[in-house]
Chains A and B, each alone.
Chain A
Amino acid sequence: EVQLVESGGGLVQPGGSLRLSCAASGFTFSSYEMNWVRQAPGKGLEWVSYISSSGSTIYYADSVKGRFTISRDNAKNSLYLQMNSLRAEDTAVYYCARILPSIVGAYIDYWGQGTLVTVSS
């Protein structure tokens, strides 16, 4: 069974930092591309960042570029999101999501349960 378990969320002051982790199990983590997606309270879904299976290709949403860093440790079956210079508008539930490659493109097929990040003084 595919499982994605996020951790590391919490309350942080504006300008502060936080590191999110996602522990993967039930599949060969090193073979899959991964994403972070977030959802502000009462709002819709927003794609945040992508990382290839090897970690060699990375993309970010403009809203987080230069402040957030995605990484992975395939030996530990873990995905990370280092978040610096946090702003109130970064307050959201952050989801770790697996990407399934296919002949019809690569899409998200599994999501973690999410971890809440609250940026407030």
Chain B
Amino acid sequence: VIWMTQSPSLLSASTGDRVTISCRMSQGISSYLAWYQQKPGKAPELLIYAASTLQSGVPSRFSGSGSGTDFTLTISCLQSEDFATYYCQQYYSFPWTFGQGTKVEIK
């Protein structure tokens, strides 16, 4: 099983801030990592796949980086619609695993 440590679990920020979320793997996964955004009462939505490739339709203020064991999701200029919970997920091997989630809240 590949364990994932996502941090922080809670991030308080203001509109316009640059925010960074980290995801660390217990073993290397190359670039087989996705990031999802979830709003309350809704299904998750894909933001980034292959660690750094932006899904079609996702604003360019979102970016992903990393490979191997350490990955980062960055939102360059936080907008009101970005307040949500974010999850990383590895699809390198089964069982697929998700990070614990990072809730981005309004400061």
Contact = CB atoms under 8 A, between A and B. Distances in A.
Interface of A: 35, 44-47, 50, 59, 61-62, 95, 102, 104-114
Contact of B95 (A59, A102, A113): A59
Contacts, number: 64
B95 A45 contact: no
A36 to B, nearest CB: 11
Interface stretch (B18-26, B39-47, B76-84): B39-47
B69 interface: no
Contacts of A109: 46, 49, 55
B96 A50 contact: yes
B97 A47 contact: yes
Interface string B1-17: 00000000000000000
Given A102-B49, A112-B43, A113-B43, A107 B91 contact: yes
A113 B44 CA distance: 9
A47 B43 CA distance: 14
B71 interface: no
A107 B95 CA distance: 13
